[in-house]
Structure 1
């Protein structure tokens, strides 16, 4: 679930362009625009986060906030005051070093409605080779703790992680906190190949409302070659970013195999049925969605709900794959999987999809 903010329609359409610009292949299985309309002064957030390493699928729901507030105090475990680093999402994260984990002790003061409490986090993941610096215990999720009667920290919630570019999501704390001031210890995901860093955190305990949610399927879907861009990778001090340019594709980013043919791909329906739009480095998928009417007095926030698998060419520990195949499938337990685990090996309908749609032969390190 990708937060698109106050994305504006033009000519009655929402127009999105998704471009693959790093060293990977993407398999787009679903694309749906989710429009969330709420009264003025109310802000919706998704509850979706990356939970695959926690063994369950994250809910892709929405919560509403009104006047979410930053902490009144934020300290590292050594006592250093870090409130300025986490009180607003400004792209400057809480400082963390390669041998550390992102951890902060937060205070929000009294909580009027604990049953409605939720944390709003903005964070991103930094992928690198941290084997020499990151030591166990590791965490595949975001851990929220409070202290027991003896002052010991006890985990109250383990939520998903950011995984990739900066994202903002809500974590339900309903019923976990008292009305009286309490300290929370927040620890983000960390292991030898990724450290999540925290840009901002806030708490909201407002009465929830039921937003008006409209889900819109694409009206057009067109695959083309959009070209490369200049990418600034994420680090412990900055999020990933890319220029809006159309540069020659980088041959070293290509992977060998068959990608989806260029042109109209709307017949693939993008409905999460393992009939992918297979995109290689430099490919661009343009999606247009009809803009439904918006009621007076309501503000609209747009989200892109997408099911996208991806195959990295390089892992922080070294080369991972040079090939587009094997294609992923919903419910797989590992990747790459054993050939006999592929559910479509005797499916003539799936064979027809591959023959009709994945006709573009790509060669690794060729730029085409």
Structure 2
């Protein structure tokens, strides 16, 4: 990308990248590893004073699963008068729109909202709609034709699950394929005409796939946890189960599901 019209401009410069990433699954990663290859996240490079490309950001992140916009702050990061930038990765990424923002930062007030209600229910699967290589979900059409496999094991019981979502604490809502977690929040006061709300959803958790080359792909357990070095974790690591966590899991993890696949 050549941001030549910004040459000499040293003010606030944001790169706005809208697209989506078709990320690899475990079998893809295994095949790449056996071929001596490995994935690396998108890194951003600019030209230095010798005219060479130099990495200034090791990872700008990825837009996973659906079109999203990544914001990359380039303020003060250019290494020469050049305003050429490039993104280097071997992830399969589709960029739909790239823009540059130079507006000044306005005053921002952050308010954290806890869900007034959080409920887990069985819903089914949204119809898939293909847009070229991208697959989107049609939420208005639900399919219950058993098209997805599911793990054997203990899952969170249906109903209110607010207690499990209060903090990042290795206490999880364990949902199976076809489940839906619905959240509702108390209404916020009306803003003056020159202000507006922007809503960001913070979610912290793990997704587990049933690829045959994934870790324990036939069962829910073992549970992941924040400090684990890898998954499945080694024998010298264990889930940090306290008496309070055990009591909560015993109360909520009561929905037993038996998968239709034999154990691996």
Q: TM-score range by the shorter chain?
A: 0.7 to 0.9
Q: Deviations over 1:164-188 (max 9, x none)?
A: 322212111111237956211222x
Other-structure match for 1:242: 137
Q: Which of 215, 221, 228 is equivalent to 2:118? A: 221
| Aligned partners of 1:115 and 1:173 also within 8 Å | no
Query: Does residue 70 of structure 2 align to residue 169 of structure 1?
Result: yes
Shift of 1:356: 0.8
Q: Deviations over 1:175-217 (max 9, x none)?
A: 1237956211222x32xxx422222211112211221222110
**In 2, Cα distance between equivalents of 1:330 and 1:261:** 23
Q: Secondary structure at the match of 1:222?
A: strand
Return closer, same or farther for 1:291/1:179 CA change in 2, 3 Å cut-off.
Answer: farther
Shift of 1:269: 3.9
Q: Secondary structure at the match of 1:246?
A: strand
Moved over 4 A (4+): 135-139, 178-181, 317-320
| Aligned partners of 1:145 and 1:184 also within 8 Å | yes
Q: Deviations over 1:32-59 (max 9, x none)?
A: xxxxxxxxxxxxxxxxxxxxxxxxxxxx
Other-structure match for 2:176: 280
Q: Deviations over 1:120-150 (max 9, x none)?
A: 1112111354857xx8775522222122333
Return closer, same or farther for 1:114/1:240 CA change in 2, 3 Å cut-off.
Answer: farther
Q: Secondary structure at the match of 1:301?
A: coil
Other-structure match for 1:183: 84
- Structure 2 regions of 5+ residues with no counterpart? none
Other-structure match for 1:200: 97
Other-structure match for 2:149: 253
**In 2, Cα distance between equivalents of 1:180 and 1:136:** 38
Q: Which of 339, 356, 368 is equivalent to 2:251? A: 356
Shift of 1:152: 1.9
**In 2, Cα distance between equivalents of 1:308 and 1:156:** 29
Q: Secondary structure at the match of 2:163?
A: helix
TM-score (norm. length: structure 1): 0.61
Query: Alpha carbon RMSD of aligned pairs, Å?
Result: 2.8
TM-score (norm. length: structure 2): 0.83
Shift of 1:232: 4.7
Other-structure match for 1:155: 55
Query: Does residue 240 of structure 2 align to residue 344 of structure 1?
Result: yes
Return closer, same or farther for 1:108/1:327 CA change in 2, 3 Å cut-off.
Answer: farther
Query: Does residue 132 of structure 2 align to residue 231 of structure 1?
Result: no
Shift of 1:296: 1.1
Return closer, same or farther for 1:153/1:269 CA change in 2, 3 Å cut-off.
Answer: closer
Q: Which of 212, 219, 223 is equivalent to 1:323? A: 219
Other-structure match for 1:37: none
**In 2, Cα distance between equivalents of 1:321 and 1:291:** 41
**In 2, Cα distance between equivalents of 1:293 and 1:108:** 43
- Structure 1 regions of 5+ residues with no counterpart? 1-104
Other-structure match for 2:108: 211
Q: Secondary structure at the match of 1:202?
A: strand
**In 2, Cα distance between equivalents of 1:217 and 1:115:** 36
Return closer, same or farther for 1:186/1:344 CA change in 2, 3 Å cut-off.
Answer: closer
**In 2, Cα distance between equivalents of 1:270 and 1:108:** 47
| Aligned partners of 1:110 and 1:181 also within 8 Å | no
| Aligned partners of 1:114 and 1:205 also within 8 Å | no
Other-structure match for 1:271: 167
**In 2, Cα distance between equivalents of 1:319 and 1:276:** 19
**In 2, Cα distance between equivalents of 1:223 and 1:201:** 37
